[in-house]
A and B are shown apart, each in its own frame.
Chain A
Amino acid sequence: MQTLTQRLANPTRFMELSARLLPWISAGAVVLLAYGLYLAFFASPADYQQGETVRIMYIHVPCAWLSMMVYALIALSSFGLLVFRHPLADVSAKAAAPLGAAFTFLALLTGSLWGKPMWGTYWVWDARLTSVLILFFLYLGLIALRSALEDESAASKLTAILALVGVTILPIIKFSVDWWNTLHQPSTDFTSTVDPSMRLPLLVMAIAFTLLFFAMHLKAMRNEILRRRVKALRTQAVAGRDRLAAHGAE
């Protein structure tokens, strides 16, 4: 019996399944985003210390969560490419990199905009902020390395190796607030450190952003599969013309 990953190894089957899933995931993301924004602005209180700026948390935390989750997905896909040679693993890793970079950029930006009124500064070189900045550079490195190499197979493998080496940044980011003295607050324990009136909007927004990412990732994977088909057809057309020219010359 085939596993789900084996069944999805066929790009044509993946295209059929993703076409069916994409509208549902997108609709779920839109509904949850609308509900989350309503909760964030109209149904949650201002914080007793931070005042209204706490509302930045409802977008900052989901972006920060995605910045790490997307990298973990890229690392998993890279492992799938290098070890199992799964045909869609590289497509997944390539499609996720720009999305991860965008969410990491947003986590840094919204964190900085939250930091100024609360800490009195946009930026400090503390362990959490610096390690997330390194993650952002890692994403840019993955994108740059892939586009710098013309041989797609070599680019895939080298990018996968870099992604797997870079995965060490994830535990550093996660535990940076425990290992070092940082201006950034310690890890959030959803069950005890966040008041229930703020926990619900935060949870809804986190799920909404996650669905939004998966919708965009599916679409980006579909685009990448189409791009590879176009490239293969162009190569096939050129080879056909060369064969005809060779026959004509004989």
Chain B
Amino acid sequence: MDLGPHAAFIWISYAAVTVTVTGLILWLIADGRKQAADLEALERQGVKRRSSSPGVR
């Protein structure tokens, strides 16, 4: 694919969006796993939410 004399500007733009959005998605997934693990650890210690219902995360 020939993107002409300004190809570098186009590729850098798309790469920046890809890296930033992928980074956000990975951060959200990692954060979700951390919160779920922390919650599970607390519940294993016997600390339960008053309104907790089984299977709801």
Contacts and interface: CB of A to CB of B under 8 A. Distances in A.
Interface of A: 12, 15-16, 19, 41, 46, 51-53, 55-56, 59-60, 63, 98-99, 102, 105-106, 109-110, 113-114, 116-117, 212, 216, 219-220, 222-223, 226-227, 229-230, 232-234, 236-237, 240
Contacts of B25: 216
Interface in B9-57: 9-10, 12-14, 16-17, 20-21, 24-25, 28-29, 31-32, 35-36, 38-39, 42-43, 45, 47, 49, 51, 53, 56-57
Contacts of A19: 57
A106 B16 contact: yes
Contacts of A41: 1
Contacts of A55: 3, 10
A47 to B, nearest CB: 11
B7 A52 contact: yes
Contacts of A63: 17
A113 B36 contact: no
Interface size class of chain B, counting residues whose CB lies under 8 Å from the partner chain: 35 or more
Contacts, number: 94
Interface of B: 1-7, 9-10, 12-14, 16-17, 20-21, 24-25, 28-29, 31-32, 35-36, 38-39, 42-43, 45, 47, 49, 51, 53, 56-57
Given A233-B42, A237-B42, A223 B28 contact: yes
Contacts of B3: 52, 55
6 A-B pairs with the lowest CB-CB distances in the bound complex, closest first: A226-B35, A52-B4, A117-B6, A110-B13, A52-B3, A233-B42
A113 B12 contact: yes
A59 B4 CA distance: 18
11 contacts: A12-B51, A52-B2, A52-B4, A59-B13, A113-B12, A113-B13, A113-B16, A227-B35, A230-B38, A230-B39, A237-B42
B4 A219 contact: no
Nearest to A62: B17
Contacts of B31: 223
Given A51-B4, A233-B49, A15 B56 contact: yes
